Structures are given as C-alpha cells and as structure tokens.
Chains A and B, each alone.
Chain A
Amino acid sequence: MTPSYIIPGAERGGIFVVIAAFNEEKVLAETIADVARVTRNIVVVDDCSTDLTSAIAQACGAHVIRHPINLGQGAALQTGIEYAALLGADYIVTFDADGQHCADEILPMVEALKQRDVDIALGSRFLGGVKNLPRSRRLVLKLAIKFTQWTGGGRFTDVHNGFRVMSRRFFTHFKFDQNRMAHASEILKYIAANKIPYIEFPTTVTYSQYSLEKGQSNANALRIIMELLLKRVSR
C-alpha cells in the first residue's frame, strides 16, 4: 500500500495514532485527551457506530473517518493506517479506544523502535504490567500465545495486544486483510513469515469494568480460530 498522493495541506511526518472505535462514546473523549498529550495527530475510525462516537472524536479535534457499514476492528485500523499514510505519517501507532492502554508509553515505544532500527514494536502486557485481568482471560491469552506458536505465527510473549508502533517501511508493505479480531493474529503471522525485524515492548494494560464488557469475550477465541481457518479455505 503506497499512498498515491499526500492530502494537500496535511502536516507531514510525525507520529500518528490510529484508534478504531465502535460505539465508544463513554470513554473516547478521555482516550483522545490522553493521547493528545503525546501527539496531536490522532485518527479515529468510527466503524459505523450508532452513538456519538464520531461527534465526540470530531469535537476532540481528531481526524475522523466513518465507515458507511460496520466492518470490524481490523478493517477500521487498515482504513486509519491508509489515511495516516496519506497524511505523510512516519510512524503509526495503533491504540485501543476503550482506555486500557497508557498513552505515556507511546513515545518510549517509538524511541525503542528507532533505536533498535526495527520495523514494528509490539506491546506486551506480559513483559510490562496488567491490571485487573480476570483469571479466565489470562488463561485464554496464554492459550492464544501457544496457538499462535503452533500455527506458525511465531513466538511472542503476548498476542492480541492492540498497542503497536509501525514504521513507514512496515505500513507501506503490510495490509490488514482480516476485517475482524483475527487481524491481531494476521499481523503476527506476517511478521514471522517474512522475518520482519520487531521488538516486543513492555506495556501496561488496565482492564476496567467497561473494557471487560466492551472488549472481546473469551468465546471470541473460537471465532478468531474460525476466521483464520476460513481465510485459508477461501484463499
């Protein structure tokens, strides 16, 4: 994916944070305000929400893109990445809308990526910290790590962590093809298969009542496996 042109008048370069949001009116303003302390280049992709998500993101000064139909988090991230690329981003950070990530970790993560001269930095809650993680969710995540390893997705300390930093080199070549939650496995598989230089960076994930209710349920693990299998069949 190479942008064919740069949007006129866009501020070139810098760090862009892409947030995929679906019905996140309760927490989005807080998340944007948190990220805005680090960078003003915030791209919110509203995945056809039925609430005030778009309006709130707009009022908070973010670049807002709204999908005409609900496509899923993977598709929303890809849309945001393409938009940020058009704005001439040097580094793209993917960040969850539900406030479970810590914006203070964005700059250290970008610095680590630059210093190690790798193409992508992956947030890892198991290298960093995790607060209020239910035992059942921890078990599912650990199983997901093993599943990723067994299915050729590489050895990672965390999977399905939405906090990542991508270099321009990475996001001009990689494209999320999995529209929904399986995108998180897809990117790891791409990294492993193409031997992309990466680092895992310790990050903090704080689960709140909201993020636990809004985020993935444990049953979604089966759905992700099905999505990955279906993609293989339909290839």
Chain B
Amino acid sequence: MIFSILLTVAFVVMSLYALAFMGGRRLGKLLLVFYAVAVFIVWHPEASTKIANFTGIGRGVDFGLMLVSVLSLNLIIFLIHHVHQLHRQLTLLARSIALGQAITARSALPSTPTAPAEGECTDLKAGAE
C-alpha cells in the first residue's frame, strides 16, 4: 500500500512536470498517457500480469521492469530537454553581454574603426607567432 502511494505520488509529480514543460508537445501528451497507465497498473497489479501474459512477457514483474526502463529513458529525455533550454538561455545571455559591451565600446570611439591597409597589423601578427 505504502509503495503504491509513493509510486502514485512519483508518477503524479512527473505528470505535472511533463504538463508544465512539454504539455503542448506531442511527446508531452504521450508521456501523460504513459503516466496515467502507470498509475492504473500500480493500483491494479493483476492488470499488468494480464497485459504481460497477453504480450507474451510472462510475469507482471518483468513487465514492471520494462516500464521502469522506459521511465528511465523518459527521464533522460527530460534532462536533455532541460539542459538544452538552459544552454539556449545561456547563449542568449552571453550574446547579449557581448553585444552590449561591443556597442558601448563602439559608442565611446571618436570615429568609426576601419580596417587597415595591407601590412598595418604585421607587428601584432609577428608577436603572436
């Protein structure tokens, strides 16, 4: 009973997460269906055995293990999505800082910078080598 409640809470939390971050997307909807089925199986374990027998897996436990594997995969997808979002925000922030600094520096210049004639930057180039 306790395990069933804990699992239900876990699935509900993950459903809320899916709804909040991926609700409108096809993958988000698919995950919601998946979690609803998972909660049903938690409270009706005999159903998992029936499904397992029907699908030719043999035991409900094996079926459960397979579900856990799928769940782990879902978690990884969540994490990839989350990391990607963070990375995108970080890119925008870094770009904003870089552009801001370039514009400020440019505004402080007395005149427009222009590229030099040939050979003008030889000194620095030689220094770099």
Chain A residues in contact with chain B, CB under 8 A? 7-11, 25-26, 28-30, 32-33, 35-37, 40, 42, 45, 51-52, 55-56, 58-69, 71, 75, 78-79, 82-83, 86, 177, 179, 230-231, 233-235
> What's the Cα separation between A33 and B83 when bound, in Å?
40
SS class, residues of chain B in contact with chain A: helix
The residues of B that contact A71 with a CB separation of less than 8 Å are: 91, 94-95
> What's the Cα separation between A208 and B115 when bound, in Å?
25
> Which 4 pairs, one residue from A and one from B, show the smallest C-beta to C-beta distance?
A36-B115, A234-B84, A29-B125, A25-B128
- Cβ–Cβ contact A67 & B98, under 8 A: yes
SS class, residues of chain A in contact with chain B: mixed
The residues of A that contact B25 with a CB separation of less than 8 Å are: 235
**Considering only CB atoms, which chain A residue lies closest to B100 in the complex?**
A65
- Known: A7-B107, A51-B128, A56-B125. Is A234-B81 also a contact (CB below 8 A)? yes
> What's the Cα separation between A64 and B98 when bound, in Å?
10
The residues of A that contact B55 with a CB separation of less than 8 Å are: none
**Considering only CB atoms, which chain A residue lies closest to B76 in the complex?**
A233
Smallest beta-carbon distance A70→chain B, Å = 9
> What's the Cα separation between A78 and B80 when bound, in Å?
23
- Cβ–Cβ contact B125 & A37, under 8 A: no
Instruction: Tell which of A60, A177, A230, A234 has the most Cβ of chain B within 10 Å.
Output: A234
